[in-house]
Amino acid sequence: MEISCPNAGCYATVAYSDKASHQKSCIYAQCFCPLCSFQGCMTSLSQHVADNHRKSAVKLFSYEFCYDIVVTDQKFDILISSDNRLFLLLINRDVAEGTALSVIGICPAAEDFQFTYELSVYNFPTNLELRTSGSMTCEWKGVHPKTYLFVPDDAFPYKKHVFVN
Ligand SMILES: [Zn+2]
Ligand SMILES: [Zn+2]
């Protein structure tokens, strides 16, 4: 038995048994803005963020390049990739004597899909680096990944520059 994908804009028909996995990975799956109640497919969400949350977003993020980001006072900074996916640089200050940094993707993806990323924070003579994998989700619900870059307050008393690759 075949059914059509219920996501608006998608004309795919899939076997009933594949319905759940297609719906998650479908590029028309609904994703949720981390800053307001907007929801839409990947492309409209990244356009929404670029138009409405300019201050919180770093645009034209492309893969395989290294980006210098000044960590803000917010809970996260938004990175918009060249293919319209959103990534969040999560800034968790609810850890003792430091800050925990990690990255997640806000876009449709099969449950087991992961990407790899690198973070580095440099303040002579200290250099902290993390290379790990991150996961995708359609909606960030405030849960921080268990793997993160721990940046001690003592090592970095000033604004942090983070390199995201
Ligand atoms: Zn679909
Ligand atoms: Zn929004």
Residue 112: is its pLDDT beyond 70? no
The answer to whether the beta carbons of residues 67 and 163 sit under 8 Å apart is yes
Domain ranges, residue 138:
2-164
Residue 144: is its pLDDT beyond 90? yes
Nearest ligand to the CA of 41 is 1
Query: 86 C-alpha to center of ligand 1: Å?
Result: 19
Nearest ligand to the CA of 47 is 2
30-88 tens-digit pLDDT:
899 999 999 999 889 999 999 999 887 776 667 777 888 777 788 999 988 888 889 99
Residue type, 130: L
The answer to whether the beta carbons of residues 48 and 32 sit under 8 Å apart is no
Could you tell me the CATH number of the domain that includes residue 16?
A: 2.60.210
CA 96 to centroid of chain Cα atoms: 24
Query: 145 C-alpha to center of ligand 2: Å?
Result: 22
Query: 164 C-alpha to center of ligand 1: Å?
Result: 31
Other Cβ atoms closer than 10 A to 33: 20
Alpha helices in the chain (DSSP H): 19-25, 42-52
Nearest ligand to the CA of 56 is 2
pLDDT of residue 130: 95
**Number of structural domains found in the chain:** 1
Rounded-to-integer distance, Cα 10 and Cα 94, Å: 40
Alpha helices in 42-142 (DSSP H): 42-52
Six-digit token string for 52: 């409405």
Residue type, 88: L
Residue 131: is its pLDDT beyond 60? yes
Longest dimension (CA), the chain: 63
The environment of the single-atom ion ligand 2, i.e. residues with CB closer than 5 A, is 33, 35-36, 38
CA distances, 85 to each of 9, 47, 107 (Å):
17, 10, 6
Mean pLDDT of 14-27: 85
